[in-house]
Structures are given as structure tokens and as C-alpha cells.
Amino acid sequence: MSSSSSVINTIATTQRFLTICAYPIWITFGIIGCLLSLVIFSRPHLRTTSCSIYFFAASVDHLMTLIVGIGPVLYALGAPNPQLHSIVFCKIRGYLFQICLMLSRWFVAFACIDRYGLTSEKTHLRNFSKSKVAYRAIIVITIFWSIICTHRLIFYEINGKVCGIVNNMIAAFYHSFYVIIGGGVLPATIMILCAWLIRRNLASRHQIRARLALGDRGQRKLDQQVHKILFAQVFCYIIFTIPQLCNLVFSTISITIPHRSSEHLAIEAFVAFIAEFMLYLFPVTSFYLYTLTSRTFRKDLMQFFRSLIDRNRRIMPGLSTTVTCNNIEHRQTTMIG
């Protein structure tokens, strides 16, 4: 066996091992977490809050990301990979997956803008933090990225074990540029900038309350929760997105190399797999991130579980009462007969 074949086999074995071991765990915990997030953010006192609307939309998008992204990969473990055997599936899956990735980042970015507006002393900025504005923003963001990502439907193709832009250099450069800027630099910049502005606005408010001798212990705790969520989201977003940005640079440079070998294509596909592997951690960990950093989120989550337990307790006594009454009626009927 040649060294090239050995490398290709090692890469394929490693990729299959990671797929079998990690992806079932991620899609299970990810879907459970997304569904619980949807339940919490749809509670009456949260679904009318503009910031919660963005997080609800992000949770829906995270759920779609896991289904569209990991679903076909797990299916391919026991069947031919549809991405490598159907050009239509290759294009549509790539298109939907790219839209989902972009939406999740920009929904979180707009949630940060929304929080900045809430803490601002300027009326026109506070007006941005309204539920109707959030719904409109979500619609505009969805339509915008649905249009911008259409190049995947045009330029995606299958080359060996790669489904992507493999031969069109101009399209590859455009794809790398818009993902790096629109999906990496801009959202991260907005999140970091808004976090800093919110911190400044809240510090100013605390100083005013201190001068007026107003107690703000409860408000300060709430502000601290907001800071924790913002910092955790920005940190996780940057960590989980860096591999994808590096892969885009690598693939763009790689496409300029003529007559790439099978080993080179295998390495390129594996690097893309690892980058996508890391991307899923953002939707998978979002619910657990909210739970760890927000006391309010944990409180609502516990109330939800308590309501389920109380509902079961109310149902069970009713059933046993019905059974008891039926038994008594049956015995009375028997005696009369």
C-alpha cells in the first residue's frame, strides 16, 4: 500500500470515527436543548420581549442547522452519501446549511443591538427594542441571506469526495470573502462593540442611581446576567467560527493549485469536515450556555418542569377517582343483578 493510500485511509477512518461517536450525541443533546429553549422563550412574559424574540428565532435556526447539517451525515453512515451522489441534494443542502449558519449569527448580533438599545438614554435607540421591530428585522435578515447565499445553488458541484466550489476560482473567492466578512468579522464586531457599549451605559446608570441614593441591587444582578450571556455568546461564537474561517482561506488557496492529487483532495475534505464539526458546537451548546449563565433562564426552566410534574399529579388522581367510581358502580350493578 502506498503512502498516499495510507493517508487517505487514515483520514477516512478518523472522520468516520468522529462521525459515529460525536454526531449522535450532539444531535440528541442539541435538539433537546433547542426544543427546551423554544419552550422557555415562548413563555408569556418572554415572547413579548424583543430580545427573547431574537433568541427564539435563533433557537429555531439552531434546530434547523442540526437537522440539515448532521442529519444527512448520519444517514450516509449506512447508505450512499446523497451529497456525493446527487448534485441537486449537494446544492440544496449546501444552500440551506449556509443560510442557517448566517441567520444564527445575525439573530444573536441583533439581540446584542437590541440590548444596547434598551440601555441607551436616547429615545430613538430605545424604540429599536420593540417586539414589532424584532419581527420585522427577523424577516428582513432571513430574506437578505436567502438571496445572498444563492450562489451555492449555482456553483456547487461534486468532485470526488468533495461537494462544494471546486473549480470556479472567482466563485470560491467570492464565497470566502462574503463568509469571512458577513459571517465572521461583522457579527463578531457587532457583538463585541455592543457588549462594550452596554457595559458603558449600565455603568452610567449605576452612577446616577448611586448619586440619587437609589437601591439597585436587583437591577445590578440582572445586568450581571446580561453581561455573562453576552460575553459567553461572543466567546463561544469566535472560538467555534475560527476553524471555518481558516478552512475558507485554505480552500481558496487550494483551488489555485492545478491538478490536485487524491491525497490533497482528501486532506481538503477532512479540514472542511473538522471546520463544520466545530460549527455545530454553537447550536448544540446554546441552551446549556443560557442555563449556565442566566439565573432567570434557569428559574423559568425549573418552573416549566414543575408545571409538567404538577400537571401529571393533577391527572393521576383524576384517573384513580374515575377508576374507583367505575368499580363501585360495577359492584352495585352486580349486586342488583
Average pLDDT of the segment spanning 8-37: 88
Domain count for the chain: 1
In which band, very low, low, confident or very high, does the pLDDT at 3 lie, cut at 50, 70 and 90? Answer: low
Rounded CA separation 245/123 (Å): 38
Q: Note whether residue 331 is domain-resident.
A: no
Residue whose C-alpha is closest to residue 268's, from 289, 288, 254, 285: 254
Q: Domain containing 24: what range? A: 3-300
Question: Of 62-66, 187-191, 306-310, where does mean pLDDT reach its minimum?
Answer: 306-310
Which position has the grid cell 461537494? 163
Q: Which positions ≥6 away from 205 have C-beta within 8 Å?
A: 119, 216
Is 323 within the bounds of a domain? no
Mean pLDDT comparison of 164-168, 197-201, 326-330, highest-scoring range = 197-201
CATH of the domain at 132: 1.20.1070.10
Per-residue pLDDT at 57 exceeds 50: yes
145 inside domain: yes
Would you say residue 311 lies in a domain? Answer: no
In a domain, 317, yes or no: no
Which range among 102-106, 294-298, 299-303 has the greatest average pLDDT? 102-106
Q: Does residue 206 sit within a domain?
A: yes
pLDDT over threshold 50, residue 192:
yes
Nearest Cα residue to 118 out of 233, 232, 234, 226: 226
Q: Which of 122-131, 239-248, 253-262, 311-320 has the lowest mean pLDDT?
A: 311-320
Q: pLDDT band at 184, cuts 50/70/90? A: confident
Per-residue pLDDT band for 317 (boundaries 50, 70, 90) equals: low
Is 119 within 8 Å of 112 (Cβ atoms)? no
Between 183 and 210, residue with greater pLDDT: 183
Task: Check residue 326 and give its pLDDT.
Answer: 45
| Res 276: pLDDT | 84
Mean pLDDT of the 140-164 span:
88
What is the pTM assigned to this prediction? 0.80
Domain annotation covers residue 312: no
- Residue 286 near residue 58 (C-beta atoms within 8 A): yes
Identify whether 313 is part of a domain. no
Going from the C-alpha of 88 to that of each of 147, 153, 265, 321, the distances in angstroms are 18, 9, 22, 58
